[in-house]
Structure 1
Amino acid sequence: MDRRTRSAITLTALIARDHWDEFAMHVRAARRNGMSAQQIQEVLLQAAIYLGVPSANHAFAIAQREIAAYEEEEGTQ
């Protein structure tokens, strides 16, 4: 399995179990593994459908913060 696919699976599993500190760390790891911000958002949209909107909304807030921090550190957007 490629790194982006593993990251997508990991993000989904962490949302499902409400492991928010780990989720934040893995959002940055997903970006390092080649996932775009849009691909991460797509994972979160799927999470809303299958894991529930409240969990997905919480994940979106964390992901937005972590993606912004990652891009600031890396100087990308």
Structure 2
Amino acid sequence: MIKDSQYDAGLELRRAMFGPAGAEGQVEHTTAFNDKMQEVVTRYCFGDIWQREGLDKRTRSLITLAMLVATGKAHEIRIHLRGGLANGLTEEEIRELMLHSFLYCGIPAAMEGFRAAEEILAEVQAAELADV
């Protein structure tokens, strides 16, 4: 695995969006089987595309969530909901994105998005209450 400034920038963004489990935790669990994929995700996805000018990270999170709902990727929706919250998305914006998605993606896709959002929002709220 090649580690350079682009890789480091990607790891830093992953840490900011997903916490240590989504950054170092993923990298530490890299195997010979999936090491190239982790490098691609860290370097090119988060170290390049997510770092580009033109769209802020909050907007990128909205777009990413919409595409994940459209393609029915429930596991990734849950991951990117956490990232979206870290990038400043509000519960209302997430709700509206999920509601809007039924028009273009269908009710089953929207319902999967709602289920994922309710799960993650409840976890985040419980964690916030525990910190108080």
2 CA distance for matches of 1:45 and 1:32?
21
Does residue 1:64 correspond to 2:118, yes or no? yes
Matches within 5 A, 1:10-49: 10-49=64-103
Instruction: Give the TM-score of the pair, scaled to structure 1.
Output: 0.89
* Count of residues in Structure 1 that have an aligned counterpart in Structure 2: 76
Higher radius of gyration, 1 or 2: 2
Q: In structure 1, which of residues 34, 50, 57 is the aligned counterpart of residue 104 of structure 2?
A: 50
Contact 2:72 2:112 in 1 (8 A): no
Q: CA deviation at 1:71?
A: 2.1
Which letter does structure 2 place at the counterpart of 1:26?
H
Which structure 1 segments of 5+ residues have no match? Answer: none
Q: CA deviation at 1:58?
A: 1.4
Which structure 2 segments of 5+ residues have no match? Answer: 1-54
2 CA distance for matches of 1:3 and 1:28?
13
Q: Which stretches of structure 1, 4 residues or more, deviate above 6 A after TM superposition?
A: none
Which letter does structure 1 place at the counterpart of 2:62?
A
Q: Residue deviations 1:37-63, cap 9 Å, x none?
A: 000011111111111011101110110
1 CA distance for matches of 2:80 and 2:125?
14
By relative contact order (CA 8 Å, sep 6+), the higher-ranking structure is: 1
